[in-house]
Amino acid sequence: MLLEVQALEARHGLLQAVRDVSLKVAEGETLALVGANGAGKTTLLRTIAGGHRAAAGRVLFDGTDVTRSSAHKRVRMGIALVPEGRHLFPRLTVDENLRVAGGNGRKGPWSLDAVYAAFPNLEPLRRHRAGTLSGGEQQATAIGRALMTNPRLLLVDEASLGLSPVAVDGVYRSLQTVIESGATIILVEQDLRRAMKVATRISCMLEGRIVLEGTPSELTREAVVDAYFGLREAGTSQATA
């Protein structure tokens, strides 16, 4: 198992944002993490990536306990986060944003040429400053930047947030290319239709807990929506009736 999260808890001061979360992600899987705003999805991703300290529990990456490891060490081990809001260097060009990340990761197949092949809309923009790009172009750059570290596990937080439908289509076309390359991905997404289309497995969070898990073929959209809004006790692995 590539990633194991065991009874993980994370806090923001007195607020418990992640509550006793356990999950496993196998190599090559795409796990979609869904839930309403404030459900704990972003905090969970940041805790896996090392950007937020765990209050309890463990994070195991390829069998190694990384719970207390720094975010930089986790990047070198193969965990990369595409954060909500993208956080690019706005005055640097697309090329420069990608190259900065490339010096901090592992050796592997993702290079400038490979990123531009996966995100063809970026090729003509490589000399443009990141701050001048559209939201969709910035998101593509942010994902490409994470790929330049050659991750074994790619964490993508809110891939479609704030983007136009056309931009979202472009981002997901490129994400599909990344998925088909064999990447292991945890994808936080509020667009349930898109999440169920690309994921091999879905976990729904509510108030810091995972309340429903299953594959897209096992779960009805209605069951996920009910779990999303806490309309019933969903439990885990609730199958289609």
pLDDT of 236: 44
Residue 238 within a domain: no
Complete edge-to-edge strand list for the sheet that includes strand 54-61: 15-25, 3-12, 54-61, 64-65
Q: Do residues 45 and 74 lie in contact, with contact meaning Cβ atoms separated by under 8 Å?
A: no
Task: Say if strands 209-214 and 15-25 run parallel, antiparallel, or are unpaired.
Answer: unpaired
Residue 18 lies in a domain: yes
Lookup result for tokens 């009805």? 220
The pLDDT assigned to 159 comes to 87
Q: How many CB atoms lie within 10 A of CB 165?
A: 9
Q: Domain for residue 68, yes or no? A: yes
- Number of folded domains in the chain? 1
Select from 219, 158, 220 the least CA-distant residue to 33.
Answer: 158
Query: Residue 234 domain-assigned?
Result: no
> Looking at residue 122, what is its pLDDT?
96
In a domain, 62, yes or no: yes
- Of 210, 213, 190, whose CA–CA distance to 200 is shortest? 213
Beta bridge partners of 212: 204
Full pLDDT tens readout for the chain, 241 residues: 999 999 999 999 999 999 999 999 999 999 999 999 999 999 999 999 999 999 999 999 999 999 999 999 999 999 999 998 888 999 999 999 999 998 777 889 999 999 999 999 999 999 999 999 999 999 999 999 999 999 999 999 998 888 999 999 999 999 999 999 999 999 999 888 888 899 999 999 999 999 999 999 999 889 999 998 888 554 444 433 2
In a domain, 106, yes or no: yes
Burial of 21 from C-beta contacts in 10 A (0-12 / 13-18 / 19+) = buried
CA dihedral 42, 74, 141, 18 (to 10 degrees): 0
Integer Cα distance of 238 and 218 in angstroms: 7
Please state, in angstroms and rounded to a whole number, the distance separating the CA atoms of residues 130 and 20: 38
Domain span at residue 183 reads 3-229
CATH at residue 71: 3.40.50.300
Three-state DSSP class for residue 57: strand
pLDDT for position 232: 59
The pTM for the full model equals 0.92
Torsions phi, psi for 3 (to 5 deg): -130, 130
How many residues are present in the chain?
241
How many CB atoms within 10 Å of residue 59? 22
From residue 17, alpha-carbon distances to 51, 85, 88, 217 in Å are 14, 19, 26, 29
Q: Answer whether residue 39 is part of any domain.
A: yes
Query: Strands across the sheet with 184-188, in order?
Result: 79-82, 153-157, 184-188, 30-34, 201-206, 209-214
Please indicate, yes or no, if residue 26 is contained in any of the structural domains: yes
